[in-house]
Copies of this chain bind each other. A is one copy, B any other.
Amino acid sequence: MPVYKLTYFNLGALAEPIRWAFKLAEVDFEDERIEREDWPALKKSGRFPSENMPLLEIDGEVFTQSSAILRYLGNKFGLTVDDEIQRLRLDQVIDITTDVRPSFRAYFFEADPEKKEKARLTIVNEVVPLYLRQIEGIVIKTDGPYIAGSKLTYGDLSLTAALNVWIGVGVITEAQLQEAYPATAKLREAVLNVPQIKAWLEVRPKTTF
């Protein structure tokens, strides 16, 4: 078995679905967490080719890009499906949640309170509905609970982790998700109740999102 080392902030966010994949496969990995105040110095240290995280080292070889890493582990650990159209849907869902990130970043890093609230309202009223409508439209193509029906895949892990961030930063509530996007809410519930993930959620470091 290769030696895996995952490096990220002390957050769920982009690293969390990767951690879940390891937990589901019951494969050991080092879960290195960088404190926010140490990041500016580390960022330019040469250890991080993209000057961002997460980073996965596999037997010492460095890989970046959380979605590429998650898909790799998902394929390796059997968290995928054979059907090509269903795999296209997994990747489509991942890329839809990725498209949302620039608006989230613009909001998160905005210092001016008035502009920040304006950015938040754009996300709440325009961005989240546009993207969640697409996701709901994909999720309802099977009887669920997952994107590929009864088979849990890396796409469900990615989506659930993204939804947790959206809920964590306050752009949608669990009740609103349940009300407006019931199939997506049901998928998230199912993922969070998978025994290995449920057990991890109880012991993982407590962070805002």
Q: A75-B84, A76-B84 are in contact. Are A68 and B49 (CB under 8 A)?
A: no
A64-98 vs B, Cβ < 8 Å mask (1 yes, 0 no): 11011101100110000000110110011011101
Whether B134 and A96, one on each chain, are in contact in the complex, defined by CB atoms closer than 8 angstroms, is no
Report A128-166 CB contacts with B as 1/0, cut-off 8 Å: 001101100100000000000000000000000000000
Tell whether, in the assembled complex, residue B65 and residue A96 are in contact, meaning their CB atoms are under 8 Å apart. yes
Would you call the interface of chain A mostly helix, strand, loop, or mixed?
helix
Q: Are B85 and A58 in contact (CB under 8 A)?
A: yes
Task: Indicate with 1 or 0, residue by residue over A42-72, a CB within 8 angstroms of chain B CB atoms.
Answer: 0000000111000000100101110111011
With contacts A69-B88, A72-B84, A85-B58 known, is A130 near B51, CB below 8 A?
A: yes
Question: Which of the four size classes fits the interface of chain A?
Answer: 20 to 34
A102 at the interface (CB under 8 A from B): yes
Q: Which of A86-139 contact B (CB under 8 A)?
A: 87-88, 91-92, 94-96, 98-99, 102, 130-131, 133-134, 137
Among B65, B130, B137, which residue has its beta carbon within 8 angstroms of that of A92?
A: B65
B96 touches A72 (CB 8 A): no
B72 with A87: CB separation less than 8 A: yes
A98 and B98 contact, CB distance less than 8 A: yes
* A49 and B133 contacting across the interface, CB-CB below 8 Å: yes
Binding site for B on A (CB under 8 A): 49-51, 58, 61, 63-65, 67-69, 71-72, 75-76, 84-85, 87-88, 91-92, 94-96, 98-99, 102, 130-131, 133-134, 137
Known contacts A67-B91, A68-B91; 5 further A-B pairs (Cβ under 8 A): A49-B134, A50-B130, A64-B134, A67-B95, A71-B91
4 interchain residue pairs of minimum CB distance: A68-B91, A65-B95, A72-B88, A102-B102
